Structure 1
Amino acid sequence: MTTTTLQVRKNQIAQTRWQAVADVPLAQGQIRVEVELFALTANNITYAAMGDAMRYWDFYPSGDAEWGIIPVWGFATVIESLHGEVPVGERLYGYWPTSNRAVLQPDRVTPLGFSDAAPHRAELHAVYNQYVRTTTDAFHTSGTESTQALLRPLFVTSWLIDDFLDDNAFFGASTLLLSSASSKTAYGTAFQLAQRKGIQIVGLTSDGNKDFCKSLGCYSQVLGYGELDQLAADTPCVYLDFAGNGQLRTQIHEHFAQLKYSCAIGATHVESLRGAKGLPGPTPTMFFAPAQVKKRNKDWGAAELGQRMVTAWQAFTAKATDPAQPWMTVEHQSGQAALEKAYTRMLSGRSDPAVGQTFSLT
């Protein structure tokens, strides 16, 4: 058997290549899975753009210092096992390489799942090392795996952003500015924020996506990137930067004299990334979802945190997939050419926000 993987050049992520490697025999305690379905979203572009800074390249090393493998979220089935507690046929949700297969080393196995104990992942954040058995997964619903692959990791981040802001009393602001408002993580955050009293949610987006953002109904106001002057400069506000557009960040920091907090979340505008030094107002701070998970695990316990997320997830997906007015339709494609084309299109910012894309390489 052969494992085929999409790789991108770390310092020029528009460059891609495919690498095919013959599978080697498993070591005792390892399993081999077939990655059957995964999503490609703007979140994956952030993984590539922030690959070095946030160590996303380290989860699945390519073996070549110049090339990296972008992690993706989705579903896989165990096809070989030398681990007594994880049998062949077990279906798992988790964090996979952009590949048709992967090898894991299960540890701390429970009825719910396990963590990957591969030595190279020992220092990486535990949240990304968790693999969940679909048979006991409270998030899992049969027949909706594409929706789960597309929205689940993004919505978990959205939920944690909302929780982080509430936990910090919104830094004394009642107006929140969300860039890249058409992205799934942004509108998932807006969906949660819209349930808070007294909060104004302003979606910032390209002119072409304004109608889509307005149709969602979770933004108090939708503005084009060139319409910041419609908001008073003395508005106490928080900026949630899902785009990573340095020029826009500068404009916001210069326009709003009462910017209370600047939260860096994504990097979808790869062509506009730049540093944050010398900006007026608060220093942009990177939001790291696992840190909020760790805090809430301590505050509430893992079971309570999980239940709160599942309840919110069910409400969100019911709205996002409402047959009468879905926020997203799913397009599934197979093969290397389809994935590479979609990646290139997403990198250039030309993807349709109303379409969610899933893939398989098998």
Structure 2
Amino acid sequence: MTTLDFQVRKDDLARTELHAEPDAPLADGQIRVQIDRFALTANNITYAAFGDAMHYWDFYPADDPAWGRIPVWGFGTVVQSLHPGVAVGEPLYGYFPMASHVVLSPARLTEAGFVDGAPHRAPLHAVYNQVLRCNRDPFHRPGTEDVQALLRPLYVTSWLIDDFLDDNAFFGTTATPGVPGVMLLSSASSKTAWGTAFALAQRQGLEVVGLTSPGNVAYCESLGCYHRVLTYDQLDQIPALSPVVYVDFAGNAALRRAVHTRFENLAYSCSIGGTHVGELGGAKDLPGPKPTLFFAPAQVKKRMGDWGAAEFGQRMVNAWHAFTAHVMNPVAPWLTVEHHDGPEAVQAAYAQVLGGRSDPRVGHILSLAPRGPDNRA
């Protein structure tokens, strides 16, 4: 058996290589998982852009430290097992590399799943080390794997951003009766942004404003989760004294400076991602609050302490199913899925997403796994 492995140059994300390596024998306690399908979104580009700072490269390190494996969310099937608690043929959901197969070392096995006990992953956050057994996963509904791979990790992040802002009373922006707090979201057409907008729109006393490129205005408006959608050069349509929280999915340094400069009552600047890869930059010497990177696992840990694991999980599951009911509305779906199978198709899809040329209505599902009847199980 051979594993196909997609790698990118860490200092030049446009440079990619595909490696074909013969599989080494498994050690006792290990399993080999065929990665049947995985999602590729702007969120994965963020993983690469912040790979060193946030240790995303450390999950599946490449032999050459100049190169990296971008982690992705997807579904796989156990094809070999030397672990007595994991059977061949079992379907799994987890945080995998862009590859055809991956070797995992299941530890702390439960009916719900396990963690990858590989020694190099021990210092990394547990949220990303968990692998879930589809047959026991309350999020999982057979036949919706593509939408789950595309949106589940993104919406969980979106839901946590909304919860974090609510947990902090929207940083005082809703304190004045009759004056809504402006939640200003950049890269409004990105899936994590409109997931956040969907959650925020359920709140009272907020105006959710999306910033996007001219070509994506109509799409963002069609979602119905933004109160207003503006282009990046229309900041002057929001009064300068408005109480604002900036939720930055773009990472665009010039836009960040424009937001910080215009709004005297900018209460909080929340850095989420880097969809504008070519315009990323530092945040030194900005007026107003210091941009603060949002780390979803930290909010998970806090809420697990506040609510307990069962309550936390139930709230997330309820929010997820309410969200996907809107996304998958057969009359006006928010998303269509495109499949990209094989090395050339994967490379082309990656270049498209990296370059920001992807239609926001399209979700990309990729596969490097051998084609066969089980590839779309």
Match of 1:282 among 289, 293, 303: 289
Question: Are 2:298 and 1:291 aligned?
Answer: yes
Question: Are 2:247 and 1:265 aligned?
Answer: no
Aligned partner of residue 132 in structure 2, secondary structure: strand
Answer yes or no: is the 8 Å Cα contact 2:250–2:273 preserved in 1: yes
Residue in structure 2 matched with residue 90 of structure 1 by the alignment: 90
* CA–CA distance in structure 1, aligned partners of residues 355 and 261 of structure 2: 27
Aligned residues: CA RMSD: 0.5
Shift of 1:166: 0.2
CA offsets per residue over residues 271-292 of structure 1, 9 Å max, x none? Answer: 0000011101000000000000
CA offsets per residue over residues 25-70 of structure 1, 9 Å max, x none? Answer: 0111110000001000000100110111101000001111100000
CA offsets per residue over residues 116-151 of structure 1, 9 Å max, x none? Answer: 010000100000000000000000000000000000
Shift of 1:24: 0.4
* CA–CA distance in structure 1, aligned partners of residues 282 and 8 of structure 2: 23
Residue in structure 2 matched with residue 52 of structure 1 by the alignment: 52
Residue in structure 1 matched with residue 76 of structure 2 by the alignment: 76
* CA–CA distance in structure 1, aligned partners of residues 195 and 253 of structure 2: 23
CA offsets per residue over residues 131-184 of structure 1, 9 Å max, x none? Answer: 000000000000000000000000000000000000000001111000000000
Residue in structure 2 matched with residue 163 of structure 1 by the alignment: 163
Runs (4+) of structure 1 exceeding 3 A deviation are none
What amino acid is aligned across from residue 34 of structure 1 in structure 2?
Answer: Q
Aligned partner of residue 18 in structure 1, secondary structure: strand
Residue in structure 2 matched with residue 146 of structure 1 by the alignment: 146
Residue in structure 2 matched with residue 5 of structure 1 by the alignment: 5
* CA–CA distance in structure 2, aligned partners of residues 124 and 237 of structure 1: 34
Unpaired segments of 5 or more residues in structure 2?
174-180, 370-377
* CA–CA distance in structure 2, aligned partners of residues 336 and 256 of structure 1: 46
Aligned partner of residue 233 in structure 2, secondary structure: coil
* 1:35-46 equivalent positions in 2, closer than 5 A: 35-46=35-46
CA offsets per residue over residues 52-91 of structure 1, 9 Å max, x none? Answer: 1101000001111100000010100001111111111111
Residue in structure 2 matched with residue 323 of structure 1 by the alignment: 330
What fraction of aligned residue pairs are identical, expressed as a percent? 64
* CA–CA distance in structure 2, aligned partners of residues 204 and 295 of structure 1: 30
Question: Are 2:271 and 1:249 aligned?
Answer: no
Shift of 1:197: 0.7
Residue in structure 2 matched with residue 26 of structure 1 by the alignment: 26
Question: Are 2:208 and 1:206 aligned?
Answer: no
Aligned partner of residue 136 in structure 2, secondary structure: coil
Answer yes or no: is the 8 Å Cα contact 2:340–2:349 preserved in 1: no
* CA–CA distance in structure 1, aligned partners of residues 282 and 132 of structure 2: 37
Answer yes or no: is the 8 Å Cα contact 2:39–2:365 preserved in 1: yes
Residue in structure 1 matched with residue 178 of structure 2 by the alignment: none
Shift of 1:360: 1.1
Match of 2:344 among 330, 337, 345: 337
Residue in structure 2 matched with residue 191 of structure 1 by the alignment: 198
Question: Are 2:315 and 1:308 aligned?
Answer: yes
* CA–CA distance in structure 2, aligned partners of residues 60 and 310 of structure 1: 28
What amino acid is aligned across from residue 80 of structure 1 in structure 2?
Answer: Q
* CA–CA distance in structure 1, aligned partners of residues 30 and 352 of structure 2: 36
Shift of 1:348: 1.1
Query: How does the TM-score come out when normalised to structure 1?
Result: 0.99
